[in-house]
A and B are shown apart, each in its own frame.
Chain A
Amino acid sequence: MAFTEKTRGLYSEILTGLQTAGLFKQERFIHSAQAADIEVEYPTGAPLKKVINICANNYLGMSSHPEVVKAAHDGLDSHGYGMSSVRFICGTQDIHRTLESMVTQFLGTEDTILFPSCLDANGGVFEAVLTKDDVMISDRLVHASIIDGIRLCSAMHDTFKHSDMEHLEEKLQLHSDKRLKMVITDGVFSMDGDTAKLDKMVELCEKYNALLFVDDSHASGFIGKTGRGTHEKYGVMGEIDIITTTFGKGLGGASGGCVSGRRELVEMCRQKARPYLFSNTIAPPVVAGVIKVLEILSASTDRRDKLEHNTEFWRKGLIDAGLIIKSGDTPIVPVMLFNAKLAQDVSRDLYEEGIYAIGFFFPVVSQGQARIRTQISAGHEIHHLEKALDAFKKVGKKYDILGKSKQEIIERYGM
């Protein structure tokens, strides 16, 4: 047996180190469906507690939407549980292609290919469309899955300072000799909730003949007037060469992702992207569920409109209470606490008040940027948000951070 006591000890030591450093991740068990109101067992073995969830990516409240649940049931009955094959052998059903067509129409692109997840889409796309003669120029705050995809690609990689268009232009000039240049960004950045300046990026990409890649996972379904994404918000629909997105957030919340964009680039993924070639695609009931989500969102903007209203209410409420938030207009609303221990303490006390929100601190965010990341949903009613605001005020008062500046909070609690 190769897994000796010595080997066990080695891993135990690493895991203990994570605990000591406060970096050990613990799961909280939810005993209900994902929604605004959930029942949680935490710590493990504790009695169930009813809390309001304000940290899910369930932006449109689709995770437990009755029509989506029914569509998934119907898909299970009509198309079975799984395909037991990758797409190109015998794993493609009519509904997979239906969903690809619907996503193409929804995002305003030329074609779409499904992946088991957006992490897989980001992991496979760069290697499929770029070579060592090309360069990838990415925003320094792109999602971890994009970094992984970039690492798997032989093209040269460079970065530009977060959302700094002058720096991006310098990089486009620096790499002007490359066969292909691809600019890579998130549409909405998941930690700060800010959006990429896609109008400016499209201009620069046209000027320097570069391709533009956008991961719109935290935008699809609700950013833009009809929820098509960050490209709609900035008036550049049809001008993004590659959009990747997930069905695990606003578009249903289950799983799956896709690459959507120029026909030839999507076809390159179909021929070469390894997560597509060597893994089963999205299971039939989930495909049926996402199809229903897109039908609902294409028929009406009610849910994204409600999310926008909820977000305005929430942002204003936090500011009026005297808390510091990251400015913006997306439903990702970080409440800044700067100190890691303070973020953990506030999160724990909010839970005691019936509010489920998690603290984020280094290394997930930069040192001194600890925060509670709140995420608003169309599944929230105003009474949920009022209760959550009351809890923030009560806990904020306890720690004497209401109306205090960043400097004052840091002076009291440290970075």
Chain B
Amino acid sequence: MKDDIKKYVIKEYVDDDTDVTYDTPLISGGIVDSFSMVSLKRFLENKYQISIPDDKATPEAFDSVNKICLLVNEYLK
């Protein structure tokens, strides 16, 4: 899962050779802007067949690949 999400983030949001690790701050680090979180949320919902409530899809919860995985796992259960 981690690698799939990381791959999506890089393809979707990174235009140069910025290094993205599992802990790279995505929102607070300016890689993903708040508008673009929408497609990340929809990607996760489609790929893992889950529904993430809007109030849980916060900038904090989306701020790194690791944090996103925690969020997804919560709704996979």
CB<8 Å pairs between A and B, sample of 8: A156-B38, A157-B35, A158-B38, A159-B35, A159-B36, A159-B39, A171-B39, A175-B42
Q: Chain B CB within 10 Å — which of A138, A158, A161, A171 has the most?
A: A158
Task: Show the binding face of A for B, using Cβ within 8 Å.
Answer: 138, 150, 156-159, 161, 171, 174-175
Contact A158 B35 (CB under 8 A): yes
Instruction: Provide the B11-41 mask, 1 if CB < 8 A to any CB of A, else 0.
Output: 0000100000000000000000101101100
Interface of B is mostly: helix
Q: Which are the 6 A-B pairs with shortest beta-carbon distances?
A: A158-B38, A158-B39, A157-B35, A159-B36, A174-B42, A159-B35
Contact A174 B35 (CB under 8 A): no
Alpha-carbon distance A353/B36, docked complex (angstroms): 44
Q: State which of B15, B33, B36, B39 has its C-beta within 8 Å of the C-beta of A174.
A: B39
B43 at interface, CB cutoff 8 A: yes
Contact B35 A161 (CB under 8 A): no
Contacts of A156 in B (CB 8 A): 38
Alpha-carbon distance A171/B38, docked complex (angstroms): 11
Contacts of A171 in B (CB 8 A): 39
Which residue of chain B is the closest to A151 with respect to CB atoms?
A: B35
Contacts of A150 in B (CB 8 A): 35
Contacts of A138 in B (CB 8 A): 35
| Shortest distance from the beta carbon of B48 to any chain A beta carbon, whole Å | 15
Contacts of B38 in A (CB 8 A): 156-158
| Shortest distance from the beta carbon of B35 to any chain A beta carbon, whole Å | 5
Q: A171-B39, A174-B42 are in contact. List 8 more A-B contacts (CB 8 A).
A: A150-B35, A158-B35, A158-B38, A159-B33, A159-B35, A161-B15, A174-B39, A175-B42
Contacts of A159 in B (CB 8 A): 33, 35-36, 39
Contact B46 A158 (CB under 8 A): no
| Shortest distance from the beta carbon of B9 to any chain A beta carbon, whole Å | 14
Which residue of chain B is the closest to A156 with respect to CB atoms?
A: B38
Alpha-carbon distance A156/B33, docked complex (angstroms): 14
Contacts of A158 in B (CB 8 A): 35-36, 38-39, 42
Which residue of chain A is the closest to B36 with respect to CB atoms?
A: A159
Alpha-carbon distance A158/B15, docked complex (angstroms): 17
| Shortest distance from the beta carbon of A132 to any chain B beta carbon, whole Å | 11
| Shortest distance from the beta carbon of A141 to any chain B beta carbon, whole Å | 12
Which residue of chain B is the closest to A161 with respect to CB atoms?
A: B15
| Shortest distance from the beta carbon of A185 to any chain B beta carbon, whole Å | 15
Q: State which of A157, A161, A174 has its C-beta within 8 Å of the C-beta of B43.
A: A174
| Shortest distance from the beta carbon of A137 to any chain B beta carbon, whole Å | 9
Q: In B46-67, which residues have CB < 8 Å from any A CB?
A: 46
| Shortest distance from the beta carbon of A160 to any chain B beta carbon, whole Å | 9
Q: Chain A CB within 10 Å — which of B33, B42, B46 has the most?
A: B42
| Shortest distance from the beta carbon of B71 to any chain A beta carbon, whole Å | 19
Contacts of B33 in A (CB 8 A): 159
Contacts of B36 in A (CB 8 A): 158-159
Contacts of A174 in B (CB 8 A): 39, 42-43, 46
Alpha-carbon distance A171/B35, docked complex (angstroms): 13
Contacts of B46 in A (CB 8 A): 174
Alpha-carbon distance A138/B46, docked complex (angstroms): 21
| Shortest distance from the beta carbon of B47 to any chain A beta carbon, whole Å | 11
Which residue of chain B is the closest to A137 with respect to CB atoms?
A: B39
Alpha-carbon distance A158/B38, docked complex (angstroms): 6
Which residue of chain B is the closest to A175 with respect to CB atoms?
A: B42
Contacts of A157 in B (CB 8 A): 35, 38
Alpha-carbon distance A174/B43, docked complex (angstroms): 8
| Shortest distance from the beta carbon of A37 to any chain B beta carbon, whole Å | 41
Contacts of A161 in B (CB 8 A): 15
Which residue of chain A is the closest to B38 with respect to CB atoms?
A: A158
Alpha-carbon distance A328/B54, docked complex (angstroms): 42
Alpha-carbon distance A138/B38, docked complex (angstroms): 12
Alpha-carbon distance A65/B33, docked complex (angstroms): 43
Alpha-carbon distance A150/B46, docked complex (angstroms): 24
